[in-house]
Amino acid sequence: MPDFSSIDGSFQVVCLVVAVTMLLWDTVEVGRNDAANLVNAVLGARVMQRRRAIVLTGLAVVCGAVFSSEVIDTARKGIFDPTGLQTLNAALAIYISVYIVDTVLLYGYSAFGMPVSTTACLVFELLGAAIAVDVSTVNWSKAGTVVFAIVCSIVLSGIAAFLIQRAVRGAIRDRTDHLATLLLHGGWVGGGFAAGLSYFLMLKGMKHVGWVKQINTWLDQFNEQVEADVGNLIIVFLLWGGFAIAIHSLLVVFRRRAAKLLFPVLAVLGMLAMGFAFGQNDLANCASPGLAAITLLDKQDVAIATKVPIAWWMLLICGGLLFTGMTTKNAERVTKAAIATGSQGDHVALWAPRWCVVLAGKLLRFRGTAPALAPRERFTPAGKTLHFDTLRACVIMSVAASVIATASSIGLPVSTTYVTFAAVVTTGLADRIFQRGDAELKLGRAIWVITSWFLSAVIAAVSAGLVATAIHQLEIVGIAACLGTNFTVRRFLKRRADAQTRRVEEATDERRHPERFALEDEEA
């Protein structure tokens, strides 16, 4: 347990209280915003009820959180070098400012149903704060590497999701529970999903576990002997073949029952893998500043504090708080908006600025006349829209989880939001969902989300720089002023977001039931 008897001065006492409080708060905010990335495909396909999906995913997040220390090291001392700061208080000012900005930024985005990258926010907040306090401490090379990794993960996820979706859609079409079709294609398709999740999640994401480390050591030795990197390919194909045989055997034995459950089960497994990968990677975004500040106050030495390993029980607590954030109202808004953006349904409840919708209309002029590959709009017995089919849900979850697990294995905090959103949009492109319905609105929303990602980076850097300067110069007074601003902005954003939600719901009802509104106009 930390020993804070060496804390010197009232400013450090306040920093300790703020660090612990904001650590808890920011962890909830990260769970609140990134919940959409974990469950949107499963909820969009109506495979599972929201509450049950959140509980299962939350357990996976908590498990993944215990394996995230390498990513935390990148976040807490990779973006800037705290040992280069002249005083301990300067380092505390940076870490505290990151939390004050991050909590209000994530809250604002989630209130409007906008998925934002907690990773990108963290990186640019650390950069902005470090530049404001002491620009010489910024590790430009590492920051550039992280930003480059984020961009590469988006491109990789988007391309892989598009190609895989187009391939499996061409084979299975909309017959996702048709026995004859699955006897022909279910083995290699389902086996590919299961093999990808197993390889990337275990051999990459859990490479520090004893038996996994032994397998990776054997693979490295084998690759050296054959002088080629073929060991990993052999493992992938063995997994693929093994799962394909197992799935085909189940289809032969259990027939229609197995056909009906194949893709829903794989989608749920992908969701759990996504939760585990999220706990590994995105925990750094909420835990690293607070845990670094607590360790600094405990050791009273920056050089020692940055080398102290993070206790597993701290990671476990943070994972539990992430789960708490996933159950909130704002998390549900983010989930619904993310699902609607990639929905194959005709009418969706979304909002986008007028210029985004106009730009989307211009882009859609080049879409051609090819028919949509996605199934026609379907509804549950309760009348709810099926936004995805289970086949597409599998692709989204499998690709996103694999990309994030790979990034975690090399200690790079990438964006769960960006990776998953890229998979949602590009699988939609592969299915040609923009050929019908509210196509301009859905594409306009995608444009607005991507635009907001760039805006969030600027807001994060500038705001964190201003807050860090205020705390560094004014100490306790600066903390009080910045916290007051945080609460004021949150209250303002909540009112605006609630009003926008009501307008979107009314506009959606009017598009879905124009005859009802026409009748109301005549009566008026």
Q: What pLDDT score does 38 carry? A: 84
DSSP string, 333-377: HHHHHHHHHT--SS-------HHHHHHHHHHGGGS-SPPP-SPPP
Going by pLDDT thresholds of 50, 70 and 90, the confidence category of residue 208 is low
How far apart, in whole angstroms, are the C-alpha atoms of residue 1 and residue 89?
Answer: 22
Higher pLDDT, 69 or 444: 444
> What's residue 209's pLDDT?
64
Task: Give the model confidence (pLDDT) of 471-512 as tens digits.
Answer: 999 999 999 999 999 999 999 999 999 998 888 888 877 777
Give the dihedral of Cα atoms 277, 316, 129, 37; nearest 10 deg: 30
Average pLDDT rounded to a whole number, residues 391-410: 85
Whether the per-residue pLDDT at 19 is higher than 60: the answer is yes
* Helix spans in 300-346 (H): 302-305, 312-326, 329-341
Tell me what pLDDT residue 288 has: 73
Domain boundaries, the chain: 10-523
1 pLDDT exceeds 60? no
Alpha-carbon distance of 83 to 302, in angstroms, equals 6
Q: Mean pLDDT over residues 38-56, rounded?
A: 88
Which band of pLDDT confidence, cut at 50, 70 and 90, is reported for residue 201? confident
User: Whole-model pTM?
Assistant: 0.87
Handedness of CA 245, 248, 252, 256 (dihedral sign): positive
pLDDT for residue 301 = 65
Confidence bin at 249 (pLDDT 50/70/90): very high
What's the pLDDT score for residue 524? 47
Task: Give the mean model confidence (pLDDT) for residues 344-367.
Answer: 91
Task: Give the pLDDT band of residue 2 (cuts 50, 70, 90).
Answer: low
DSSP string, 136-189: GGB-HHHHHHHHHHHHHHHHHHHHHHHHHHHHHHHHHTT-TT-HHHHHHHHHHH
What is the mean predicted confidence (pLDDT) over 307-312?
64
Average pLDDT, the chain: 84
Residue 229: its pLDDT value, please? Answer: 65
